[in-house]
A and B are shown apart, each in its own frame.
Chain A
Amino acid sequence: MKLAADLLLDPLSFLLIACCLVGLALVLRFRAPRVLDGLYLAGGIAGALFLIAILVIILMNMSARWLLIPFPGSTDYAGYCMAASSCFALAYALNNGAHIRVNLVLGRLGSWRRYGEVWCYGVAALMALVFARYAVKTNIWSEKLNEISQGQDKTEIWIPQLSMTIGAILLALALIDHLVRLLVTDHDGVAKTALGEGEA
């Protein structure tokens, strides 16, 4: 019974989100491309701000410990900032070619490269959509069930989870945007891949 309900409901809501994002990507890319690129950059900047927030929280935590002032839940807040910093910046990192991939086969495809890229962006966009769809669902349920953090911070989980939801949607949007452009324009994927910078 549960399975049947899932089959009926899941693909529908999934398709709905997918269509919305494809539409959004299409309209924005050809009407207002600056808005779209601005969105990715804004995600990157938000990620950077949360990175600074991690630093500030940890420095505060250390000084609080030395001054013997309690700072309950600092580690949880730093964790939320970590999630926010990485999730918000996912699309931005993609657009700057920071995400790692194996280019061994792609690089040898020659004139078939575009098909390879379509495949990669297609699979990635599909996965990012699934990610975004369940992130939205998890987020909604955390709010409905009023889930509270187990740590000392007692935060309502849905608030920090928003960062993951927004970040996942942005990533899906960015991948769809690239896929659409690969299919109908001369665009050939992100400008460069991680070489050096993205490696660790």
Chain B
Amino acid sequence: MTISTAPGMTLPPVNKRLIGAAVAIALGMGAWFLLHSIGEEDVWAKTGLFIFILFFLLGSGVWVGLALMAVAYIGLDVFVPGIAGDRMLTTIWSSSSSWTLTALPLFIWMGEILFRTRLSEDMFRGLSPWMAGLPGGLLHTNVVGCTVFAAVSGSSAATLTTVGKMSIPELRRRGYPEFMTIGTLAGSATLGLMIPPSLTLIVYGVTINESITKLFIAGIVPGLVLATMFMGYCAAWYYLFPSQRPARDPGMSFSAKLWNSRFLIPVICLILAVIGSMYMGLATPTEAAAIGVLGALILAALQGSLNWQTFTESLMGATRTSAMIALILMGAAALAQSMGFTGLPRALAEWIASMDLSVFTLIAALTIFFIIIGCFLDGISSVVLTMAVIEPMVNIPAFQDLGFSMIWFGIFVVVVVEMAQITPPIGFNLFVLQGMIGKEIGYIAKTAIPMFLIMVLMVAILVMFPELATWLPETARSTPG
């Protein structure tokens, strides 16, 4: 995923490059005319070509947002000639100036502020005394640390870096096996996607018009269940491989433990305030995010890590990330509109319905589908790319009767997207970890296999007990305004 030119790479002479560019232009124009020469009635050929261009552009490395927009524009131009651009822009404008979306940059900013505080050190220092006594020892700081940071940040890479920065060297120093340290970190960092605030869930909610508050609340219980299962994995290692157990840290008195976690307690209060205000119906997600930003700023100031530099860095970082997601969402909005004209989502939903699959077969098929897509795309892109097609497929009575609402489906998608974070060839957490510890991707992926299997188990549990995701949001009070 890094752009690095090979050291010995020679530059082709300029005129050759221009010829190359001309060939590309000719190819593009050829495809354009081919697309327009297909007859009006040949919808399937058009749709096939449409999908092919989509994956060709994405695969060749065109920025996801612009690739989606390009395919949407081509599709619109083929199906509704003449006014494609105007229609597209109207959609893009209304999607990018939506009020629900404002929660996104604010939650990103909140995470960026806390990412730049001393939270990383405090997390380890504050958590380790409490975890040392558990079977599995300090490995639990990885899981619990990720869970806590996931609750202030919606990104799994930020979660991974914050927790790993301190816990990797500390666990190494104490002699914990590398395999366990890396594996648990790679796996539990994916909780950043599930535990609110979750950027993936915001994007999912905006894409299919579901309540973001409900989605957030729905993520809490499955997130905690998943974290518990990860902790169970640490404990299992402790009992199965007694020879690998490192020496215990000396115990601490209760007051010493409290003193060590003095910086962690305000963070936990902030988390409770943000999630609680949404759950109690006191604030919309956007308002909760605004409280979160304010709280994070106060926290950073109290800690002494807030200065002009960290403030501007966090602000500019948040601006960049939200612009990136906004571009993808613009492309996705245009693509969803364009897809509507192709009739593909409806045709596919009817086809699936005609096959009379059981709900469980369909879910299994979708799981595999998302894992494959997730091997090549990041979570947000895979959600926006597929939801226009998948929503009519699953938003049907047969699903809802079994308790699989669209809220439940959001949580399901997040778990599967989480898996994709730790599967090669494109698993973002693997890349981040590689950058941090400099081991081979293959080795890191191997350490994460048990975590991957735990997540497969999580999908099964979610299917068997859909109430895990749907129960808590029903008890939440509706938000004002």
Contact = CB atoms under 8 A, between A and B. Distances in A.
Contact of A104 (B20, B109, B290, B376): B376
B293 to A, nearest CB: 6
Contact of B287 (A58, A122, A135, A198): A58
A93 interface: yes
Contact of B60 (A93, A116, A200): A116
Nearest to B72: A127
Contacts of B289: 58
B17 interface: yes
Given A119-B60, A192-B2, A193-B3, A199 B157 contact: yes
Contacts of B67: 123, 127
Contacts of A93: 319-321, 323-324, 327
13 contacts: A3-B82, A51-B322, A85-B322, A111-B9, A113-B5, A118-B24, A120-B61, A124-B63, A138-B89, A141-B86, A195-B435, A196-B435, A199-B379
A138 B319 CA distance: 25
**7 A-B pairs with least C-beta separation:** A86-B326, A134-B85, A89-B323, A83-B97, A200-B199, A93-B323, A196-B157
B319 A92 contact: yes
A87 interface: yes
B391 interface: no
B381 interface: yes
Nearest to B322: A86
Indicate the member of B14, B25, B90, B92 with the most A CB atoms within 10 Å: B92
B327 A104 contact: no
A35 to B, nearest CB: 20
Indicate the member of A51, A61, A87, A103 with the most B CB atoms within 10 Å: A51
Given A51-B318, A100-B328, A200-B154, A120 B286 contact: no
Nearest to B429: A199
Given A65-B480, A199-B157, A82 B290 contact: no
B192 to A, nearest CB: 8
Interface of B: 1-3, 5-6, 9-12, 14, 17-18, 20-21, 24-25, 28, 57-67, 69-70, 73, 81-82, 85-86, 88-90, 92-93, 96-99, 101-102, 105-106, 108-109, 154-158, 160-161, 193, 199-200, 283, 286-287, 289-290, 293-294, 312, 315-328, 376-381, 425-426, 428, 431-432, 435, 480-481
Given A44-B319, A200-B325, A195 B2 contact: yes
A113 B380 CA distance: 26
Interface of A: 2-3, 6, 10, 44, 47-48, 51-52, 54-55, 58-59, 61-62, 65, 75-76, 78-83, 85-87, 89-90, 92-94, 96-107, 110-111, 113-120, 122-124, 126-128, 130-131, 133-135, 137-138, 141, 160-161, 164, 182-184, 186, 188-200
B17 A99 contact: no
B106 to A, nearest CB: 6
A96 B323 CA distance: 11
B93 A161 contact: yes
A134 B325 contact: no
A127 B92 CA distance: 14
A122 B3 CA distance: 18
B89 A135 contact: yes
